[in-house]
Amino acid sequence: MEPATHLQVLSERADALLGAAAGSAEVAVPTCPDWTVADLVVHVGLVWDWASKIVASREHAARDDPPEDRSDHALRAWAKLRAARLCDELGAADPEADCWTFGLPRTVRFWFRRQALETALHAWDAEGAVGTPSRIDPEVAADGVDEHLRVIVPRSVRRQPDAWSGQTVHLHRTDGDGEWVVRLGPGAEVAVDHVHSKADLALRGTAEALWLWCANRATADELGIERFGAEEVAARWHSAMTF
């Protein structure tokens, strides 16, 4: 996906998230344990603010403190301002400019993708907390799978290098092109390839289902994913992959 598409996804899904949050501040978010919708809005607002500072300066930035006023209207207005600021900063930025990131590429392009996908996933969380979440666009979800395996999973594995010793997971998308084989460990090593290959655990499903499974939003059974192979690898993923 190109930066302009990521920027559109970010803007649209930020609006969807904040729309779902209206009047729902104290509602629990089942897919984000121990969070209410207000907690989720605070989280994304702080992330949007942090990312906008990084894009503006091209350097690492400190995160702000959460807002003191968590009333429904004030909290959503606070977050909406930060989403708009992030969209403005990204819209004015050169995607190929060098920039501090916590993953590849080391350019502003990283932040277009990261913020679009984090916002899309959390919009799904917010909508699910108050009703039925919108379906995630298949191409956005496939992008989410790829970014999750290449950026988010390595961070989790680095935090728990002893949890993995070379186990492999094969993800096969059924609603379009897309296959991934990820090797976890040994140690903090993570390798991702776009290949069709045997693995310890194989999963077949839509791009949306695979992304939600990767991000521990639901089980394979709940998402209608076919799975083959080592169930213990799936169980370890859900217990050890923290994001």
* Predicted pLDDT of residue 242: 80
Q: pTM for this structure?
A: 0.95
Q: Which two tokens stand for residue 101?
A: 């990131």
Give the CA angle between residues 54, 55, 56 to the nearest 5°.
Answer: 90
Query: Domain-by-domain residue ranges, the chain?
Result: 3-130, 148-240
**In angstroms, what is the C-alpha Rg of the chain?**
18
Angle at 161 between CA 156 and CA 165, to 5 degrees: 115
Mean pLDDT by 10 residues, the chain (243 residues): 98 98 97 97 98 98 95 96 98 98 97 98 98 97 98 93 94 97 95 95 98 96 96 93 82
What CA–CA distance (Å, rounded) separates 128 from 134? 8
DSSP classification of residue 152: I
Residue among 158, 27, 9 nearest 86 (CA): 9
Q: What CATH code would you report for 3-130?
A: 1.20.120.450
Which residues contact residue 58 at a Cβ distance below 8 angstroms, ignoring those fewer than 6 apart? 97, 98, 99, 100, 108
Q: Are the folds of 3-130 and 148-240 the same? A: no
Residue with tokens 């004030």: 74
Task: Name the class of domain 148-240.
Answer: alpha beta
Cis bond upstream, residue 186 (ω within 30) = yes
Q: Give residue 243's pLDDT.
A: 76
